Structure 1
Amino acid sequence: MLKKVLSYLIPIKIHTEKSSLSKCIEVTWANGELVLDSENTNYSYGSLQRVLRYGLKTIGFDKIVKMEHILILGVAGGSVIKTLVDEIKFGGQITGVEIDPDIIKIANQYFKLDEIQQLEIIIDDAFEFVLKTKNKYDLIIIDVFQDTTMPNFLYESYFTNRVCYLLKSKGFVLFNTMLLNKEDNLRNEKYIANFCTVNHNIKSIPRIEVHNELIVIEKKM
């Protein structure tokens, strides 16, 4: 409790761990809440939870609570899962795909992810999982980062088309992107401009954090 109170004055790091995939993982008390960070950016809770919550609110909490199956590519500490379960009261199935088992170990220890009964965690590469899965989803959340880097496959048309194929009728994709420079902004503009399918709509959401832009894809039928 003391560390939580003191964290309103200064961040207090309580756990640091090296990971072969994520390099450095840190758990910190900051402004009265636990957050999960990589070496250079926020991975879960804190500002990232606010960004993804804003995206979910844009889609509509009332729509999400009626959904049956949600896929999350990139779990980290599971802050978006906590928003779905604790705030939105989503009662359906959640499948979380995370490539780094060390992060899931920390998420279970500090954020009690393993206590969420409707959640299935799969340790796998997001691209590989999307190719293999036979399921269809009402909502697919893409939140895949390696520190401050976004893997190139996220912007490839083959991956995008496959993700859209996995959507149920009137389903949504919520794609969280990081923009650190002019090139990143141009990358997103090109991605949206080149998106080509008559069965889906695409749009970006006005930013609430300078370096994060959310892109929403909606399946029409």
Structure 2
Amino acid sequence: MIKKIFSYFIPIKIYETKSVLSKSIEVTWANGELVLDSENANYSYGSLQRILRLGLKNIGYEKIVAMNHILILGVAGGSVIKTLVEEIKYKGKITGVEIDAEIIKIANAYFKLDQVKNLEIVIDDAFEFVLKTQNKYDLILIDVFQDTTMPNFLFEDFFIKRTCFLLQRKGFILFNTMILNETQNIRNKKYVSEFYNPQFQIKTIPRVEIHNELILIEKLEP
């Protein structure tokens, strides 16, 4: 409790480790809440939770509650899962895909992710999982980072088409991106401008928490 109080004045790191995939994984008290960070980015809770909450609000909580199956690519500490279950009261199935098993251990230990009953965690690469899965989803949330770096496959045509194929009718893709320079800004504009499918509608929610841009794709009525 003392650390929580002092964290309103200065961040207090309580755990630090590294994994095969991450140079640094830190659990910190910041502004009265536990957050999970990499070396240069917020991985869960804190600003990331605010970013993804805004994206979910743009979809509409009432639509989300009525969904049957949600896929999350990039779990980290699971803050968006907590938003879905605790704030939105979503009771359908959640499948979370995370490549770094060490991060899931931390999420279970510090953020009680393993207590979410309607959650299934799969340790796998997001690209590989998307290739293999036979399921269809009402919402696919893409939040895949290695520190501040986004893998190139996320912006490739094949991956875009495959994730769209995995959507149920009237489903959504919520894609969290980071823009730190003009090259990445151009990358996002290219992604949106070249996205064409009469079955889908695409829009952006720019400059969320300064550096993030959300891309929202909706599958329309046939």
Q: Please confirm whether the aligned pair reaches a TM-score higher than 0.5, indicating the same fold.
A: yes
Q: In structure 2, what is the Cα distance between the partners aligned to 1:113 and 1:39? A: 22
What is the match of residue 25 of structure 1? 25
Q: Any idea what the Cα deviations from partners look like across 1:19-74, whole Å, max 9, x if unmatched? A: 11012100000000000000011000000000000000011001001100000000
What's 1:131 paired with?
131
1:206 Cα deviation after fit: 3.6
Identical-residue share of aligned pairs (%) = 72
Question: Is 1:180 matched with 2:180?
Answer: yes
Q: Secondary structure at the match of 2:18?
A: strand
| Structure 1 residue 207, shift from structure 2 partner | 2.9
| Rounded Cα–Cα distance in structure 2 between residues aligned with 1:154 and 1:129 | 13
Residue number in structure 2 paired with 1:166: 166
CA contact (8 A) 2:206 2:212 kept: no
CA distance in 1, matches of 2:182, 2:104: 33
Q: TM-score, normalised by structure 1?
A: 0.99
The structural deviation recorded for 1:208 is 2.8
**What's the counterpart of residue 44 of structure 1?**
44
Q: TM-score, normalised by structure 2?
A: 0.99
Paired with 1:187 and 1:207, the residues of 2 have a C-alpha distance of: 15
| Cα RMSD for the two superposed structures | 0.6
Corresponding residue pairs, total: 221
Gaps of 5+ in 1: none
Once the two structures are superposed, the pairs formed by residues 109-120 of structure 1 within 5 Å of their partners are 109-120=109-120
Alpha-carbon distance in structure 2 between the residues aligned to 1:220 and 1:7: 45
**Please, which runs of 5 or more residues in structure 2 have no aligned partner?**
none
Per-residue displacement from partner, 1:180-216 (whole Å, max 9, x unpaired)?
0011101000000000211111110143311100000
The whole-number CA distance in structure 1 between the counterparts of 2:207 and 2:85 is 24
